[in-house]
Structure 1
């Protein structure tokens, strides 16, 4: 669509582009996609040394390896094709219907919600938690409230939801989750809902079991505060989740343009283990866990001047922390930065990379804001 094209004033200004999707999976309407900028391979006859135009036309499901190249959202549902297919996407800078997993509020100068595209294996391409601004983040232009029996039924991201396996079913417990999926209301069918597990681990030690990320059909809602699924994702776990209807809801939104947001991911810290965050974007940390030893990550030097990285702890990490070693950094005060630690619900930080100018590799991560512990 020409950005200056005259149209009926009630028609949403959407910027459509046709691209190649080489994947074999189905694509739901409103799901985000990223460019595969380094596509090559023996099956294409093209190498990294070839200037191949498909690198600006080939898209893939969002992941931690393409999160800095957001392309747009699928314009409609596309069924799976074994040999890939041409699809239409709506690009940043215009409006689109986006697939969402959390409640939305129409945006104004004083309120409203933003949703950032996910790279998580459980819901890659869906717009859920708000991360950094830019390409890959959308501004809600339609309100869709959470409601019992509604398209957006439930959400728990602080690690207070728990799991318990007793063959042949796993019970997920959290105040109100059963009511949201139909307990006590004969007009609501629990099997019309999907629980999306973003992460989690054994509450007591974070190591005995790590919750299996994924989307799972609700089987029953036996009480007001429980639902069951048929898969053992890990017992005695604190889990981060949301529940949506099988209608897979969408809302109208403005796709932000400009710099890359880097999208967002959800990680589960694990005691005495390195749990590495993706390059750029926003990393959310699951909570509700006890760790005897720090879970660690390294923030390597950036490669793009102005690149940003954000971290946010969604729930409490007891006893020890998520410890980030910063390869090259400065605190907001201007003194040397070696590590960042997060362990409390709501702790977050945003850093920006300055460097790589004139072909140099040197640079520094500068803390813009951080309310955890710096060292």
Structure 2
């Protein structure tokens, strides 16, 4: 492994002036061990702490002991260490995908709780090659990127993933570890023939399939009401990201449905459509993408109840702090007449399609408020706070936040 290359990748993305800890996903395997050692090296130089996070998926009898060993190893190397557990029933099908989603959510939540903005993961050049081979077999797995927002939502809001080993081969990493007298654990799941990734790994090294992400969008706009505006010729990846962020969902649109939408945008057609929880209004010069207020089939726009002092995310789009009293959050649809006069007046300036999907806050006495409309709130007076998430999420998804120090 070329340690200087890895450290240069850390220099490029991390903020040397930050006091926040760096979170590292550490399984005890060779790749994550090399990552933890390199991160500790960089962090010591810059006076930053490192938090090692180990996930116990509870899928094997030995997993608890493995987790304890990983925690002890990380602490011996100089990191603070924490074990995380995937509890509850496990699915009978799609176990690998479910475990991956659970792992990302656990890691992101722990990183955010510790104040870390960056979570480092030990994916390598071999992982890139394996992903390409898996897609050739019909898988929809995507390439790991060197820098990207956490895929866990809303658990991963504000957390970025950094993979500084993507230029390094797995064999070279292990040779580097052996030179330093290090030993590591080998996960038996990597040899399970039921896993497509394991079969690709056993097939041996293949060429690396480098795939650069699309450049950031040349122009876009967003507002507090959940609408993202893009040019009609926006890249398909940016259209997909806008649908994802405006809808507050987890999975962006892909495949033929996305291709058809982009083709309609390119044609100049004026139309309104819905896709993946988003409403798309294509005008003469731009496309406005917001929340589909009628989308409830996948649990969207569901009621959220918060106790006093509790913070939650409603509909994947707004982070809400309850303040000094319990509140409930529902879509504004059907409640606009109960808003304070100033907010009813402000609502008239909001596009009609966006109004029903705005967050309405209800207090115990039945008072209604929509803080994103501004103005004095007669119903809410306990220090509630509402923050829109979709614009920063879109900026992160399209590469406009490319370093830890960029806000």
TM-score (norm 1): 0.33
Higher Rg: 2
TM-score (norm 2): 0.31
Higher helix share: 2
Higher strand share: 1
